[in-house]
Amino acid sequence: MVDDNRLKVGSNEMELVDFRLFKETENGVYEGIYGVNVAKVREIIKFPKLTQLPGAPDFIDGIFDLRGVVVPVINLASYMNIQQPHDIQQRIVIAEFNNLMIGFTVHEARRIRRISWEDIEPATFSTNNENFESTKITGVTKIENDEVLLILDLESIIEELGFYHPDTEIESGAVETFNGTALILDDSPSARKIVKNAVEKMGLNAVEATDGMMGLQKLEELYSLFEERIAEELKVIVSDVEMPQMDGFHFASKVKSDERFKDIPLLFNSSISDHFSDIRGSEAGADAYLTKFNANEFYTKVANAIKNKTDKLPQSV
């Protein structure tokens, strides 16, 4: 039976797991409201028996065996320098992204929220305190009672801790080169830099956008420049999925419904590594769905998409 309640491709919505971290303050206990994309959450479990890792930082609670997979557990409150109340109940959010499985200790998991990307604002606030929790926030959105939910950037946490290292190395001479332009969409500066370096190695000029709305603006600018030659000059579009204002799926649905751009190869490059997102990518019309970041896979998929498109273009006489 088809689940009619599931997110539709191009709906520009996401589902978040709403969880809480409690902070001990002079005025009592403050309840922090956080969220993570449900596509990255494998399950939420009671606090298991953990094996301690000698010499590990205090924010590493330990490791445990989850049905044959050894899962490290990061205490989010401790990592974010949040003074936790004593004897607080804890849960483990088992997350899977970038083809890694990591456990995150939280204090309470409340519900699943469906939120439009249009209602999610980029986290533009900053502070001079390097330990301030805003450095781990990728977006914010208002919920009921004028409260604010903070969307955590789990990828930056595991990368900072050394659990994840982007695979950017490839054998010398193994990269095919092309002439033209590549449009890159990603709200993460570090992710854009990796993709930009990769497409430039392929001989392509990189045009960057931070979300789907800006991506559409960049497409219009490129069309004004190239006009009817757009499909020949713009060789490929590489888009993230999770972006504020307009996500990658919604962006792709708009691109593929526009006669001017529908034949331009579009590939998703996302940290979400569940199979369902791969299916949604295909439904949105993408030529491939890549998990961040494997250089060999990236170069192969992008090159194949460009060559397949080039073979279909009318040949000059």
Q: What is the pLDDT of residues 42-63, one digit of tens each?
A: 999 999 999 999 999 999 999 9
pLDDT in the model for residue 193: 93
Do 148 and 27 fall into the same domain? yes
pLDDT, greater one: 38 or 168: 38
Do 200 and 278 fall into the same domain? yes
Do 199 and 132 fall into the same domain? no
Residue 78 falls inside a structural domain: yes
Give the separation between CA 90 and CA 108, rounded to whole angstroms. 6
Residue 132 pLDDT exceeds 50: no
pLDDT, greater one: 238 or 168: 238
pLDDT in the model for residue 287: 94
Burial class (CB in 10 A: 0-12, 13-18, 19+), 305: buried
Of the given ranges (127-136, 140-149, 153-162, 262-271), which has the lowest mean pLDDT?
Answer: 127-136
How many percent of the chain have pLDDT more than 90? 68
Averaged pLDDT for residues 82-103: 91
pLDDT band at 131 (very low <50, low <70, confident <90, very high): very low
Residue 71 pLDDT exceeds 60: yes
pLDDT in the model for residue 172: 62
Residue 13 pLDDT exceeds 80: yes
Do 17 and 112 fall into the same domain? yes
Structural domain tally of the chain?
Answer: 2
pLDDT tens digits for range 158-215: 888 888 888 888 766 678 999 999 999 999 888 999 999 999 999 999 999 999 999 9
Do 110 and 198 fall into the same domain? no
Tell me the CATH number at 44.
2.40.50.180
Tell me the CATH number at 227.
3.40.50.2300
Do 135 and 190 fall into the same domain? no
CB 77 within 8 A of CB 84: yes
pLDDT band at 65 (very low <50, low <70, confident <90, very high): very high
Residue 293 falls inside a structural domain: yes
pLDDT in the model for residue 313: 59
Residue 6 falls inside a structural domain: no
Last residue of a domain, one of 126, 160, 194: 160
Cβ-count burial 177-210 (b if 16+ within 10 Å, e if not): ebebbbbbbbbbeebbebbbebbeebebebbbbb
pLDDT in the model for residue 128: 46
Do 126 and 195 fall into the same domain? no
pLDDT in the model for residue 54: 92
Last residue of a domain, one of 160, 189, 220: 160
Residue 171 falls inside a structural domain: no
pLDDT in the model for residue 122: 82
Residue 21 falls inside a structural domain: yes
Residue 6 pLDDT exceeds 70: no
Do 80 and 131 fall into the same domain? yes
Average pLDDT along the chain: 89
Across the strands, what pairs with 91?
46, 106
CB 34 within 8 A of CB 19: yes
Residue 30 falls inside a structural domain: yes
Length in residues, the chain: 317
pLDDT in the model for residue 317: 39
pLDDT, greater one: 132 or 193: 193
Residue 292 falls inside a structural domain: yes
Do 211 and 285 fall into the same domain? yes
Residue 112 pLDDT exceeds 60: yes
Do 186 and 149 fall into the same domain? no
Last residue of a domain, one of 160, 192, 223: 160
- Look up the domain containing 87 and give its range: 13-160
How many percent of the chain have pLDDT more than 70? 90
Of the given ranges (3-12, 199-208, 226-235), which has the lowest mean pLDDT?
Answer: 3-12
Residue 75 pLDDT exceeds 50: yes
Residue 249 pLDDT exceeds 50: yes
Residue 283 falls inside a structural domain: yes
- The model's pTM is 0.84
pLDDT in the model for residue 280: 87
CB 14 within 8 A of CB 117: yes
pLDDT tens digits for range 14-31: 899 999 999 999 889 999
Do 214 and 130 fall into the same domain? no
Give the separation between CA 116 and CA 235, rounded to whole angstroms. 30
Residue 310 pLDDT exceeds 80: no
